[in-house]
Amino acid sequence: MDAPASLRRLIAALLVVRASGHLLDSQRRYPQWELPNAELRQLLDQGVGGVILLGGSAPEVALRCEQLQSWARLPLLRCADVEEGVGQRFEGASWLPPPLAIGRLFGKAPQQACALAERHGRCTGREARALGLNWVLGPVCDVNNNPANPVINVRAWGEDPSTAAALAAAFVRGVRAEGVLSCAKHFPGHGDTSDDSHLALPLLPHSRERLNAVELPPFAACIAAGVDAVMTGHLVLPALDAERPATLSKAVLTDLLRHDLGFNGLVVTDALVMEAISGHYGPAEAAVLALEAGADLVLMPADAQAAIHAIAAAVEAGRLSLGQLEASAERRQRALASLPGPSLPGPSLPATSLTTANLIAELETSPAGALLGDEILPSEILNSETLISEILAASLDRQGGVLAPGPGINLVRLENLLQAPQAVPRAPALEAPAALGYRACLLEPRSPSPWQSEANAPLALERLGEGPVLLQLFVRGNPFRGHSAATEPWPAVVGQLQACGRLAGVVVYGSPYLWESLQAVLEPTIPAAYSPGQMPLAQALALASLVQGQAPEVGVGARDAGIHADFTD
């Protein structure tokens, strides 16, 4: 017997499904997760209450948010994983440096770091709101105290609890100041793991006392700062629940988060399609277990229709109470009601009306951090390029001499040649060395061309050709990679090139841990630099420091760096 329509609508409102930021089905980047428009429209008409977006240009996403809301029965939660600014996911908006860039500054300049973290949040919230997004899935509250962590890494705000707590809370204040919802993740802490929960179910074998001291302080700080939502982590904590991962554990979500930490906002699962959950539970049962544990919202169920049916059956069987679901729906409605602007018929935009044409004009003519409304802060504070260059300049590290001109080889390690936003046309990592006579050789981990099996001489130099080698390494932890590049033989490569006198310079973009391992073997005269960012502006500033023999001054932008980077307009 079918559940009553009112019950199915109530349940549907608690689901958040994946949607492409592109308008057409043929443009979907990940069709295995991103629903086709016909199915998406059907679910929204059934009352599904949220969408998580990925892909598309900023103006396209603004149009997409209007479209999705027009298909929906009720005001939608429209969210995205924009931990490094809206431009991390949507072309044309601001791609900000990763949080750990500010986290590593905190120890020597805590006030500056907190101010930058809040501006990071304000820029992210302001641009999210401009595009029609009303929920930022950040900050990451995981304490990255495990350098081998394959998935958190530079996404964390700190490597110790006090740093992560102070900066994550500052980010929350910035996002909320722009009228956008925030979300602390991945509760109760994914920092000290060596597995990626996108691929496996990690184990966190720590006592409650250790959790209180290390993992929980950033979440407590964000709750005190008024964070709107907390996202669960797909990991097992035997000290709290030996049987079920945190996402499905009442001991974690209800007893620890609700009762002990006193959180009264939205509890949302991490994506249920991730292997840590989908590899152990069916799509229907996982959704039921998450709600039983105390979650309010189910993010990316593997089968939304099956989840709705299973949750309805669980209510009718007495596993779930109607009152619990109504309380979750009330928390969802309360979060939406806190946002500025109209809820229907269109997206929750600021009082100043935004059209797609206006957005395009703003993006083309204005600093990317000052898209809408009256400027509460001075324009130089809202200007995202100023913010980006300040963070990058403050976190840039360099040593050694000046990069000598070629001819030579620019060996660039990328994660995936087919998906490399760092290697846009006219990227400084390619153009600047080319201007000095270095020809590019692009390498990804799966490529066998320059490698040989000798431990102390891993590069097949005869395949690279003659001349000095500039080594540029784009390495960081990322979801679905399953590693943090710690297994790649870069210290041995540096030693090999130095031994034969062919190492012209080194630049590391991303992981501070790789940079530290290379510093231990680099000869002091070799020009070398580290930037936590991988975006074109990070490349411009890092390479400028090699060419000029010193780090650029704080606040220097791409146009002033002396490197080909004018494409960042």
Closest CA relative to residue 475, chosen from 463, 465, 489:
489
What kind and span of H or E run contains 514?
A: helix 512-519
CA dihedral 336, 2, 293, 262 (to 10 degrees): 30
Closest CA relative to residue 96, chosen from 564, 536, 415:
536
Return all residues near 569 (Cβ < 8 A) that are at least 6 apart. none
Q: Is 483 a catalytic residue?
A: no
| Residue 527 near residue 402 (C-beta atoms within 8 A) | yes
According to DSSP, the residues that pair with 509 across neighbouring strands are 474, 531
From the candidates 198, 206, 234, 564, give the one annotated as an active-site residue.
198
Q: The tokens 């006579």 sit on which residue?
A: 437
- Long-range contacts at 317-320 (CB < 8 A, ≥ 24 apart): 319/288, 319/292, 320/288, 320/291, 320/292
Return all residues near 354 (Cβ < 8 A) that are at least 6 apart. 62, 130, 132, 372
Q: Output the CA angle 419-425-427, nearest 5 degrees.
A: 90
CA distance to 21, 180, 185, 209, 355, per residue, from 350 (Å): 21, 10, 26, 44, 12
| Residue 296 near residue 14 (C-beta atoms within 8 A) | yes
Q: β-pairing, 15-20 with 298-299?
A: parallel
From the candidates 142, 192, 270, 397, give the one annotated as an active-site residue.
270
Specify the 3-state DSSP secondary structure of 561: coil
Please measure the distance between the N-terminal and C-terminal CA atoms of the chain and give it in whole angstroms: 59
Q: Is 81 a catalytic residue?
A: no
| CA–CA separation, 559 and 39 (whole Å) | 46
Residue type, 43: L
| CA–CA separation, 155 and 514 (whole Å) | 15
| CA–CA separation, 296 and 269 (whole Å) | 8
| CA–CA separation, 458 and 493 (whole Å) | 6
Return all residues near 80 (Cβ < 8 A) that are at least 6 apart. 21, 52, 53, 54, 86, 89, 90, 128, 133, 135, 136, 137
- Name the residues annotated as catalytic: 198, 270
